Structure 1
Amino acid sequence: MADPMSLRRARTFLRGTLAVALAAVVTAFAPTAEAGAHANPQWTECAGITDPDLQCAAVTVPLDHRHPRGRTISIAISRLPATDSARRRGVLLTTGGGPGGPGVPLPSTLAPFLSADVRAQYDLIGFDIRFVERSTPISCGQPVEEPAGYWVRTATPGSFAADSTKARQYAKDCERAARWALPYATTVNAARDMDFIRAALGEDKISYLGGSYAGMLGAVYAALFPHRVDRFALDSPVDPATVWRPFELARTPAFDRGFAELADWIAERDTDYGFGDTAQEVTRAVSSLLDRARTSPIVIAGHPWTAGELGSLIVAGTYYEQYAGLIASALAAVAAGQEPLVPFPIRPVPPPGVAGVPADNHTAVNIAYRCADGPWPRDPRTYLRDLATYGTRYPLFGPANANITPCAFWPPAMDHPAPPTPGQVSDQAPGVLVTGALRDVAVPLAVSRAVAARLPGSRLVTVDARTHAPFPYHGDACLNGAVNDFLSAGVLPASDLAC
């Protein structure tokens, strides 16, 4: 799911029984990067980016890695050179979360948070995964992005038929607008693109830093190309073994717990926000505000605030404890009919100065990857049963997380097996550093812990916070230091570390 932190910063970051089958898949998709990639990218200025030190280029990759001599697409990459050529070790790749978040601007964003030693050793390489923004962007033919770039409909009594109709129509629109691309919008293909980037840069191995979905992408790369892995830091990685329907259902309890923490915080400050002095009163007041917006958007200063937009604000406050005051103030303003102050876009925006990015690009990419990466129920009755279970147990977020999506109607010919999980295909990759927050709502810690457990020799570094992908923006010196130390020296902590 496209998280609000990446919307703010980066619009400026199945299991063992299938091991044999997945090994066969890997053989069928044998690496061809050396044969197909074009070395020596042509570096130029980056359109729409003000950092004069950041350079951009394009790498040509196969649309279908099974047919490397067929149609090709262009992957956009960026480079912030290492600060000390004498100490340069190699490249440190990074990209955005989501899926759907851009990665080209990230080297400039991350550089101030990386130690001098890390900056001296690595060219920072950002890239947009296939079909995002500068990398051969796709559309689902919609005039605007969904709130937070994530297609979701919250079920209400009697709404399932209408929700199903909207989901079916969206799937048809995607097929009509991007049928040529949808079969290839997968994490496995994005990981193979990474290896073409590696080869184009002339590197034998790569290091990598990625959070949330980008952490999962790094884990899949490590499973596919273990001999190409140098120093990988995966921040709150999603577990490839459970994407996407099982993952979204399983994290629903964490969503409700996260909102309960937020409601407690707001209740303690009733004089500031006026939602009530108990968590129950706050929950009722916020639910009432959403019901108002579902009936009719709340128009303030010419902007119609929809239930989806308000819901994305609530998710931001649920994900990030550091946003609590900002989100509470914004909701209170809307409730009072006043214009709220929101310092990040509610809906993703195209990069400035970059032509050709469709109006709905981020949402289109998010849903395309989610629908293709793993199996989804096709029978609408399955979603009704899930709604009955999760909607009752978790009344705040169950009706959204369990509801039907366009993936229920995705063209069957475009289904793909789930991506390989770390440890299924090979245990040759070195240990990686996994970081996370104890009370992460977006990617509960148990999920990231499972990723670390499947990569032998890996270590887990945690911070006691309700936040997501804590490196580097949560600002914990211990956790940030552990990441910088690992990338700099290549030495993992002796044991898991609680910061």
Structure 2
Amino acid sequence: MSKTSGPGLRGHRFAAALAVTTLTVLGVAACDSADDEDHPAAAALTWGPCPAAAPGAPRDPRLTCAKVKVPLDYGHPDGTSIEVAISRLGATDPAKRHGVLLLNPGGPALPGLDTPSAMAPTLPKTVLDGYDLIGFDPRGVGTSTPQSCGLENPGVAALFPYPAADGSIDANVQAARATAGKCAAKAGENLRYFTTANTARDLDRVREALGETKISYWGQSYGTYLGSVYSSLYPDRTDRMILEGNVDPAHVWAGEAESWGKGMAERFPDAAAVAAGQNGALGLGATPEEVTRTYLALAERLDRTPAPVPGTPQSLSGAMLRGVTYALLIHNNTLPVLAQVWKAAADLADGHLTEADGKVLQQVFAHSPPTPGVPADNQATMFLALTCGDAEWSHDVEIYAKRSAADRKTWPLTAGMPANIWPCAFWPQPVEKPVTVTGTGARNTLILQNRRDHATPWDSGVGLRRALGSRAALVGVDNGGHYVYHEGSACADNATVDFLDTGRLPDKDLDCTDVTRQ
């Protein structure tokens, strides 16, 4: 699960989800029955041009789009309707077509209409021949009835509650309460129905609209939770499932967030080693341990005294440095850039910024323009709707203070943020309990997991593997970063493509150690 507002597929993901009335639970259970035929058959889809893409998003000219109407509240399927936007890149050889492959880039709350365009260049001809690649903006996201809390700072990163320099969380408590109140006032009661469980139900309406008996699915980061929920609600409608960079369904979402401290400790040495290898130019330390000490001291210094960035109204804080670090740890090929960011931040704090440092910081402070017609705070709003609405969080402020202080000592790289208070502490009660992810169903799920993934750590992938039991096979890769496929392991890539082509899972879990740096 990525924790920043990412640029799309293979961008960032936050990995970070309980009760309702008996009447609502019973209504939802009826809708989720595998043989439910109560709702009318979907009308034929009307395919046409897609909405305007986000600036810079790759788009295959063959991509077409359509919309599917779904209930806002599946407990009242004849009530208010919303729309889910979907996209399609058709199979390139109809004679070899196997079915549809739905793609979700994670987030939570990343739009996905352009995911087929981004993913297709990484896939071999056999997969492109065999599948219609289907993208979608999940409910409330992008062009699918987008939601907004009217947040003044629209970035997801602004939501992450780093304590004050002295460890106090008083300001975090005030900010969390204010954000939750703003969402309640602006987005209203309906925001409670924008959940992962309802998104999974939407996917089944999409399946029906596509005229498919079953769907195959590839979810990344948060998308792994969405996929595991779908396959648990509709095991008989699930074909081939790939889950990459995984959320442990037993820890949704407060527990998943708290896993980031350990995940950062496992991933950070990869970047520190890159910086140490350039010590002559960077001066951050000759060993990974020295670089780590330099980084921690710099972050703490910026916590106390943020450094003004020339030519901008902004200052570089410790929280911002940690956020950029998290984002650039996503891929191995951005680790050298991260080392340059650390140098630029140190020079800025020392008051002797070079021209090269300035160019690096310009990239750090650059903002991607929003997608036309989509509220600027859409991802942040839906990030909150999902992480706060999927499962109930503690409402005890003192518990967060104690947990954050302990986490701060144990995992200094994250400074107590993952265990701190979030707006979810002041959120309305979820409309239903989380879906239980189990091992019931066909053996049809491939789990891809890096050993040094800071966004959804190794332990989370193992947790999902445990939940799915005999339904799944785990491909573990000795690599860092958040993504597995097309990131340097032929072992993992071959297992993925073979599964899509044939439906065969590895006979047993695989341990891939053949990573080559790209």
**TM-score, reference length from structure 2:** 0.86
Q: Which residue identity is paired with 1:482? A: A
Identity %: 37
State the secondary structure of the residue aligned to 2:296.
helix
Deviations 1:364-399 (A, max 9, x none): 111211011122110101101102221111122141
Counterpart residue number, 2:390 = 373
Shift of 1:10: 6.2
- Change over 3 Å in CA distance of 1:58–1:149 after alignment to 2: farther
Task: Name structure 1 gaps, 5 residues minimum.
Answer: 14-20
- Change over 3 Å in CA distance of 1:40–1:203 after alignment to 2: same
> Is it true that 1:392 corresponds to 2:409 in the alignment?
yes
Counterpart residue number, 1:466 = 480
Tell whether the 8 Å contact from 1:262 to 1:317 is kept in structure 2 after alignment: no
Q: Which residue identity is paired with 2:379? A: H
Counterpart residue number, 1:227 = 236
Deviations 1:318-352 (A, max 9, x none): 44333210111123223333324489886874554
User: How far apart in 2 are the matches of 1:12 and 1:104?
Assistant: 16
Greater Cα shift, 100-109 or 320-329:
320-329
Deviations 1:141-176 (A, max 9, x none): 113322547533334325311110011001101111
User: How far apart in 1 are the matches of 2:471 and 2:167?
Assistant: 51
Q: Which residue identity is paired with 1:371? A: C
Q: Which residue identity is paired with 2:310? A: I
State the secondary structure of the residue aligned to 2:94.
coil
User: How far apart in 2 are the matches of 1:126 and 1:342?
Assistant: 34
Counterpart residue number, 2:341 = 330
Q: Which residue identity is paired with 2:149? A: C
- Change over 3 Å in CA distance of 1:494–1:346 after alignment to 2: farther
- Change over 3 Å in CA distance of 1:181–1:274 after alignment to 2: farther
Counterpart residue number, 2:72 = 63
| Cα RMSD after superposing both structures | 2.9
Tell whether the 8 Å contact from 1:463 to 1:498 is kept in structure 2 after alignment: yes
Matched residue count: 487
State the secondary structure of the residue aligned to 1:332.
helix
Q: Which residue identity is paired with 1:42? A: T
Counterpart residue number, 1:300 = 310
Which of the residues 405, 422, 426 maps onto 2:438? 422
Counterpart residue number, 1:315 = 326
- Change over 3 Å in CA distance of 1:71–1:306 after alignment to 2: farther
Counterpart residue number, 1:91 = 100
- Change over 3 Å in CA distance of 1:135–1:217 after alignment to 2: same
Deviations 1:270-306 (A, max 9, x none): 1122222244543343334434544335313326244
Deviations 1:378-431 (A, max 9, x none): 01011011022211111221411111111111123x4542232133xxx12433
Tell whether the 8 Å contact from 2:161 to 2:172 is kept in structure 1 after alignment: no
Shift of 1:126: 0.3
- Change over 3 Å in CA distance of 1:88–1:158 after alignment to 2: closer
Shift of 1:477: 2.2
> Is it true that 1:435 corresponds to 2:448 in the alignment?
yes
Counterpart residue number, 1:38 = 42
User: How far apart in 2 are the matches of 1:347 and 1:147?
Assistant: 15
Q: Which residue identity is paired with 2:375? A: P
State the secondary structure of the residue aligned to 1:107.
helix
Superposition pairs for residues 341-352 of structure 1, below 5 Å?
341=360, 349=368, 352=371
Q: Which residue identity is paired with 2:437? A: T
State the secondary structure of the residue aligned to 1:450.
helix
Shift of 1:181: 2.9
Greater Cα shift, 391-400 or 25-34:
25-34
Q: Which residue identity is paired with 1:391? A: R
Tell whether the 8 Å contact from 1:210 to 1:218 is kept in structure 2 after alignment: yes
Shift of 1:5: 9.9
Counterpart residue number, 2:515 = none
Which of the residues 370, 375, 397 maps onto 1:358? 375
Tell whether the 8 Å contact from 1:2 to 1:148 is kept in structure 2 after alignment: no
Counterpart residue number, 1:170 = 179
> Is it true that 1:47 corresponds to 2:51 in the alignment?
yes
User: How far apart in 2 are the matches of 1:247 and 1:3?
Assistant: 11
Tell whether the 8 Å contact from 1:42 to 1:57 is kept in structure 2 after alignment: yes
> Is it true that 1:481 corresponds to 2:498 in the alignment?
no
Task: Name structure 2 gaps, 5 residues minimum.
Answer: 14-22, 54-58, 348-352, 513-518
- Change over 3 Å in CA distance of 1:88–1:345 after alignment to 2: farther
- Change over 3 Å in CA distance of 1:405–1:4 after alignment to 2: closer
- Change over 3 Å in CA distance of 1:158–1:329 after alignment to 2: closer
Q: Which residue identity is paired with 2:426? A: F
- Change over 3 Å in CA distance of 1:151–1:34 after alignment to 2: farther
**TM-score, reference length from structure 1:** 0.89
State the secondary structure of the residue aligned to 2:45.
coil
Tell whether the 8 Å contact from 2:5 to 2:157 is kept in structure 1 after alignment: no
Tell whether the 8 Å contact from 2:276 to 2:286 is kept in structure 1 after alignment: yes
User: How far apart in 2 are the matches of 1:152 and 1:406?
Assistant: 9
Deviations 1:207-253 (A, max 9, x none): 00111110111111000000001011111221222111112223422
Tell whether the 8 Å contact from 2:229 to 2:437 is kept in structure 1 after alignment: yes
Counterpart residue number, 1:192 = 201
> Is it true that 1:82 corresponds to 2:98 in the alignment?
no
State the secondary structure of the residue aligned to 2:189.
coil
Tell whether the 8 Å contact from 2:267 to 2:481 is kept in structure 1 after alignment: no
- Change over 3 Å in CA distance of 1:332–1:126 after alignment to 2: same
- Change over 3 Å in CA distance of 1:259–1:166 after alignment to 2: same
Tell whether the 8 Å contact from 1:92 to 1:207 is kept in structure 2 after alignment: yes
User: How far apart in 1 are the matches of 2:385 and 2:116?
Assistant: 26
Greater Cα shift, 316-325 or 49-58:
316-325
Tell whether the 8 Å contact from 2:165 to 2:300 is kept in structure 1 after alignment: no
User: How far apart in 2 are the matches of 1:343 and 1:491?
Assistant: 47
> Is it true that 1:404 corresponds to 2:407 in the alignment?
no
Greater Cα shift, 152-161 or 40-49:
152-161
Q: Which residue identity is paired with 1:271? A: G
- Change over 3 Å in CA distance of 1:238–1:106 after alignment to 2: same
Greater Cα shift, 263-272 or 381-390:
263-272
Shift of 1:481: 1.9
Tell whether the 8 Å contact from 1:215 to 1:237 is kept in structure 2 after alignment: yes
State the secondary structure of the residue aligned to 1:329.
helix
